[in-house]
Chain A
Amino acid sequence: MKLFKSIKWRLQIWYGLILVVVLAGFGFTSYQLERGRQFRRIDDELHQRLEVLKNALHRQQPRGPNGNRPFPGQSPRRQNLNEPPPGGPPPGQFPEEDPLGLGARPPGKFSLPEDAEHFFEASDPHEFYFSIMRDDKEIAKSMNQRLSMYVTSTYFGGPVNQLANLPGNTQRPQNVHSIENYREIYQHLPAGDFILVGCSVLPELNELQHTALNLTAVGGLILLVGLAGGAWLVSRSLKPISSISATAVKISAGDLSQRINVAEAESELGQLAAVLNSTFARLETAFAQQKQFASDAAHELRTPVSVMLTQTQTALNRERDAASYKLTVEACQRAAQRMRKLIESLLALARFDAGQEVLKRMPFDLFKTISDCAELVQPLAEERAVKVFIEAGPLEITGDPERLAQVVTNLLTNAIQYNQPEGEVRVKLESQNGLAVLTVTDTGQGIAAEDVPRVFGRFYRADQSRTGAGNTGLGLAISKAIVEAHGGTIEVASEENVKTTFTVRLPV
């Protein structure tokens, strides 16, 4: 199911479930608390009526100690109201209190005192009722006759009866129980009397139902609001993800200039987006460089290929003599040599880029290498009337002698080529802080300040045009790659029309 794999929906479902559990728990607790409160109030009312009846019964029908049958300790049922009301006499003292009352009225006659009538009004929605038993006979009951069935079932229906006849002590618990929609409180009095007061709890139950409905409605509303809020929060916090994926799709489609719109830079996703953006930027730069490099390489190859095509096509246009063909072949050879040099340089750079160039590691005398290179470029120096001075002594370093000779030759060639006639090239080699420092200084045209950062770039040329078949525009780029592969650095400092100094630092 796609729905359940979506983070958004999983978060929503979990969030919703937790909310439902919390709301249900809260609602249930509130309901129970309210129910308990209502029933305590009812029980208080019932208790109050029971006490009124008890007092009235004692006044009207007192029992002597002879009637006081043993009544062993009865295990309290749901509620045990052992303490007698503060105003009333203790149960054990009834006979002494009113010993004459027994003879004053015959048993079985009990009338509700007038001041208590309002407790049992028929109009009360609680329909309070009572029943008073003496020696298993009902001697009085309330106006609500139809309720007597509950009374009988309570009194005669079960263990209550037996308990009532058991010999007991003076402490009679008041018991509370619920039957269907009624709540009753009853007490066995010491002399075999039994009083029960009950009432309908329908109003309370209705009220509780109402409360439950309210709680459900409020809970449902909170759930809805919570879910909506959660949905908003989730989709808001996941919004950067869709933005990220939309951008990634565009980038994978080839548009590397796309960036993720980072709205919240502080959030975790904002940080992720920033990291991705910088990665995309590096990718784009690398891609652009690669593209530029390929384009430049193709461009460099176009001219020699043009030479070969026009030379051969012209030669083949008509019959020619051997000397003419020889000229054509020579021109083609020059073009081919130029292409070979370019291709070798490109491949060397590609190997350095890919880290595939394997350098030799052997100790050798860098001074000797410099001398050899200087000898090699001597013809070029003589042609340009440039003097080369070497100020150096033997210095042994570890590295690839051939590759480093390539660097030195390249620097010397440049220093001679871009020098003025009768100019000078000074080569210095010294040891500084464990580094071999090679400087090549010319007295040439110099490099314009804005071009200095591009000198080591690929296909950079001092005059932005071809200056002869020998110049590929890659020499310094390759030199830099070689020096850096040795763990060294190469840098340039230039004063326009005064001098240019290349400094190579190599670890010994």
Chain B
Amino acid sequence: MRILIVEDEPDLLASLAQALREEGYAVDTADNGDDGLFNAEGTDYDAIVLDVMLPGMDGWEILKRLRKAKKTPVLMLTARDQTCDRVKGLDTGADDYVVKPFDLEEVFARLRAIIRRSANKTTNVIEIGDVKVDTAARNVFLKEKLVELTAREYSLVEFMALHRGEVVTRTQLYEHLFDENESSLSNLLDVHVSNVRKKLGAEFIATRRGHGYCIEG
């Protein structure tokens, strides 16, 4: 899962990015509106965390322009909790909002929810054969037994599970699992796929030669 954070307060941006990385997300950051829009338009993020008050282009403007091109789920960070602000955000195309000051847990939960909704899933649990993925607790079970996965391995399983039945290209996986600073290590993806197969069974992730990977069923 790859996420973009657009926030101008450096201390807030740093801690949010760190916390989300530790949750297993690939995180890109932007500290002003123009960079934020540039990134949001150029990459298929799984979600964007967008502050409203930004130098240069503000959050509303970014959202308005982004919605012309992409349906990336957006979580707005707003310092105003007045109803008109919320309505404005939701009307402009925000998928959800969090009012400052917020708890990290709430941001995590809302991010999971908008990502899940954008994949047309209504529950936190995805079952694929013997494998069960709990996206809320970020756990994977094989035959009701908890399987130990690294954060990156979990992200791979979750992304594949959210796109089950579809062929996911390597480029897509790179985009969603790695942030802009680490995407050059191209064989890292193969290592993760092989590790997941070892833990969940070789047939869990099928390889489509020349196309990418796929979870059947």
Contacts and interface: CB of A to CB of B under 8 A. Distances in A.
A465 B58 contact: yes
Interface string A329-350: 0010011000000000000000
B200 interface: no
Interface stretch (B12-20, B61-69, B189-197): B12-20
B9 to A, nearest CB: 6
A314 interface: yes
Interface of A: prevailing SS? helix
**For this complex, into which size category does the number of interface residues on chain A fall?**
20 to 34
B203 interface: no
B103 interface: yes
Contact of A310 (B12, B53, B54): B12
B100 A317 contact: no
A328 B14 CA distance: 10
Contacts of B55: 463, 465-467
Interface in A282-338: 295, 299, 302-303, 305-311, 313-315, 317-318, 328, 331, 334-335
Given A302-B79, A305-B101, A465 B8 contact: yes
B186 to A, nearest CB: 30
A300 to B, nearest CB: 8
Contacts of A317: 19, 22, 104
A309 B11 contact: no
A314 B68 CA distance: 34
B70 interface: no
Contacts of A467: 55
Given A310-B19, A311-B11, A314-B15, A465 B102 contact: no
Contacts of B103: 309, 313
Contacts of A302: 79, 99-101
Contact of A306 (B22, B58, B101): B101
Q: Which of A334, A466, A467 gathers the greatest number of chain B CB atoms within 10 Å? A: A466
Given A302-B101, A310-B16, A331-B14, A318 B9 contact: no
Contacts, number: 72
Contacts of B104: 309-310, 313-314, 317
B143 interface: no
A176 B8 CA distance: 119
Nearest to B105: A313
A331 B11 CA distance: 6
A40 to B, nearest CB: 91
B208 interface: no
Interface in B1-54: 8-9, 11-12, 14-16, 18-19, 22, 53-54
A310 B51 CA distance: 15
A47 B138 CA distance: 133
Nearest to A324: B18
Contacts of A465: 8, 53-55, 58
B12 A307 contact: yes
Contacts of B12: 303, 306-307, 310
A309 B14 contact: no
B129 to A, nearest CB: 33
Contacts of B211: none
A466 B53 contact: yes
Given A313-B103, A466-B8, A303 B79 contact: yes
A507 B105 CA distance: 57
B199 interface: no
B22 A318 contact: yes
A334 B77 CA distance: 21
Interface in B58-88: 58, 77, 79-80, 82
A309 B102 contact: yes
A331 B15 contact: yes
Contacts of A307: 9, 11-12, 15
Contact of A334 (B11, B22, B58, B82): B11
Contacts of A335: 11
Contacts of A463: 55
Contact of A303 (B15, B22, B54, B100): B100
Contacts of B99: 302
Contacts of A328: 15
Contacts of A306: 9, 12, 77, 100-102
Q: Which of A299, A307, A463, A466 gathers the greatest number of chain B CB atoms within 10 Å? A: A307
Nearest to B33: A465
A463 B8 CA distance: 13
Interface string A456-492: 0000000111110000000000000000000000000
Contacts of B15: 307, 310-311, 313-315, 328, 331
Q: Which of B8, B9, B55 gathers the greatest number of chain A CB atoms within 10 Å? A: B9
Q: Which of A310, A317, A464, A466 gathers the greatest number of chain B CB atoms within 10 Å? A: A310
Nearest to A299: B79
Contacts of B22: 314, 317-318
Contacts of B11: 307, 311, 331, 334-335
Contacts of B9: 303, 306-307, 466
Contacts of B102: 306, 309-310
Nearest to B98: A306
A288 to B, nearest CB: 14
A123 B15 CA distance: 129
A306 B78 CA distance: 11
A469 to B, nearest CB: 8
B187 to A, nearest CB: 28
B176 to A, nearest CB: 23
28 contacts: A302-B79, A302-B100, A303-B9, A305-B101, A306-B12, A306-B101, A307-B9, A307-B11, A307-B12, A307-B15, A308-B101, A310-B15, A310-B16, A310-B104, A311-B15, A314-B16, A314-B19, A315-B15, A318-B22, A334-B11, A335-B11, A464-B58, A465-B8, A465-B53, A465-B54, A466-B9, A466-B53, A467-B55
Given A307-B12, A314-B104, 19 more contacts: A302-B99, A302-B100, A303-B12, A303-B100, A306-B9, A307-B15, A310-B102, A311-B11, A313-B15, A314-B15, A315-B15, A317-B22, A318-B22, A331-B11, A335-B11, A463-B55, A465-B8, A466-B8, A466-B55
**Shortest 5 CB-CB distances between A and B: which pairs?**
A305-B101, A331-B11, A302-B100, A314-B19, A306-B101
